[in-house]
Amino acid sequence: MYQAILDKDTSFEGLFFTCVKTTGIFCRPVCTARKPKFENVEFVNSIKAALGKGYRPCKICEPVRLPDETPDYIQTLLNEVRDKPEVKITDADLRQRHFEPHTIRRWFLKRHGMTFHAYQRMFRLNTAFKKLQEGESVTDVAFGTGYESLSGFGDSFKTVFGVSPKQGKAQGIIDLTRIETPIGAMFAGAVPEGICLLEFTDRKMLPTELKTLAKYYNATILQGENIHFAALRRQLEEYFAGSRRHFELPLAAPGTLFQQAVWQELQRIPYGSTRSYSEQAAALGRPAAVRAVALANGMNRISIIIPCHRVIGADGSLTGYGGGLWRKQWLLNMERGQL
């Protein structure tokens, strides 16, 4: 590993990080900064481990910057699907552009849990569903979104939504998109009323949260665009750049009256500040409900915007966080200007 950092060997990128004891920073293997002596380094296999040992990310190689960034050629495909969902991009089309279909397939399976062709189908059905909701005829929608026959459209629609296109108006839809951040990729969900989900893709509770939202809204969750996503992406980018302290987004966070009160109180915690669970309970006028408050915090499905990361233990410990304690520490450090 030491030889790899001397050689700036790109084949080791993502496999380990170099922690420099004398400066307290950690770097990627390809960092261009002056190399430390061998006795002054230790190696770890994750950003989480480096942060856990108290190291700060290097400002030159930015080891926490978009760890799962979408390659430009993938982003081009995503943009095409979003802008022209009726156009089918086949394996032959990919090869004509000198893209390897198997590589595209693996990338989508890892990041979206489905192949690229399945992603296209889901996006196309999302578009068709919305057109039907707007009053367009089944025939116009079917052929306008790239289907070659009404029967093929009907079968695909029923497979996903469980009803025929004519019965689809009684259904709802939750749009889902993937957003990259400096501390990992997130899934965002939205309904017409606002953002209903913002979670890191590796959160263990994510499948349960998606099922809860789908049941509440009587909706199918599909990849697709939403009127709220552009503002969400912009404001998250501003937040991580340090230029935004308050989010101005409509939120749709179904829950009990108590959960709603807890989540609203979370949004009153100032940027860069922290509050203990007992302090949060007292602010709600329920000083004895500390455990209930902690449970409601854990049920928050809209991370960062509803800032449950700002609540810590009475002794100053980080306690739990659905996105992982290392992310909680990172967010608090960022808001305090300590990165």
Summarised one tens digit per residue, pLDDT across range 245-281 is: 999 999 999 999 999 999 999 999 999 999 999 999 9
Q: CATH number, domain at 296?
A: 1.10.10.10
Does some domain include residue 175? no
Does some domain include residue 49? yes
Mean pLDDT of 75-104: 92
Q: CATH number, domain at 154?
A: 1.10.10.60
Check whether residue 325 and residue 264 sit in a common domain: yes
Assigned token pair, 291: 């455990």
Q: What is the pLDDT of residue 66?
A: 63
Does some domain include residue 202? no
How many domains does the chain divide into? 3
Mean pLDDT of 100-104: 91
Mean pLDDT of 66-86: 84
Q: What is the pLDDT of residue 206?
A: 93
Across all residues in the chain, what is the average pLDDT?
91
Does some domain include residue 20? yes
Check whether residue 96 and residue 28 sit in a common domain: no
Check whether residue 43 and residue 79 sit in a common domain: no
Q: Of 177-186, 188-197, 294-303, which gets the smallest average pLDDT?
A: 177-186
Longest dimension (CA), the chain: 71
Q: CATH number, domain at 30?
A: 3.40.10.10
The answer, yes or no, to whether residue 1 has pLDDT greater than 90, is yes
The answer, yes or no, to whether residue 83 has pLDDT greater than 70, is yes
Check whether residue 43 and residue 93 sit in a common domain: no
The catalytic residues are 308
Check whether residue 28 and residue 97 sit in a common domain: no
Question: What's the domain range around 312?
Answer: 252-335
Q: What is the pLDDT of residue 20?
A: 96
Task: Indicate if the alpha-carbon torsion angle 94, 100, 101, 103 is positive or negative.
Answer: negative
Check whether residue 51 and residue 76 sit in a common domain: no
Check whether residue 315 and residue 258 sit in a common domain: yes
Check whether residue 53 and residue 80 sit in a common domain: no
Domain boundary residue among 120, 136, 170? 170
Check whether residue 317 and residue 282 sit in a common domain: yes
Does some domain include residue 64? no
Does some domain include residue 193? no
Q: Which helix (H) or strand (E) holds 43?
A: strand 41-44
- pLDDT tens-digit readout, 191-243: 999 999 999 998 889 999 999 999 999 899 999 999 999 999 999 999 999 99
Check whether residue 162 and residue 76 sit in a common domain: yes
Check whether residue 105 and residue 165 sit in a common domain: yes
From the list 263, 339, 336, 337, the residue with the least C-alpha distance to 305 is: 263
From the list 148, 155, 130, the residue with the least C-alpha distance to 139 is: 148
Does some domain include residue 290? yes
* Top-ranked range on mean pLDDT: pick from 75-79, 112-116, 129-133, 306-310: 306-310
Q: Name every residue whose Cβ is closer than 8 Å to that of residue 130 and which is 6 or more positions away in sequence.
A: 173, 224
Check whether residue 261 and residue 303 sit in a common domain: yes
Domain boundary residue among 170, 188, 220? 170
Does some domain include residue 272? yes
Amino acid letter for position 143? F
Domain boundary residue among 118, 153, 170? 170
Mean pLDDT of 275-290: 94
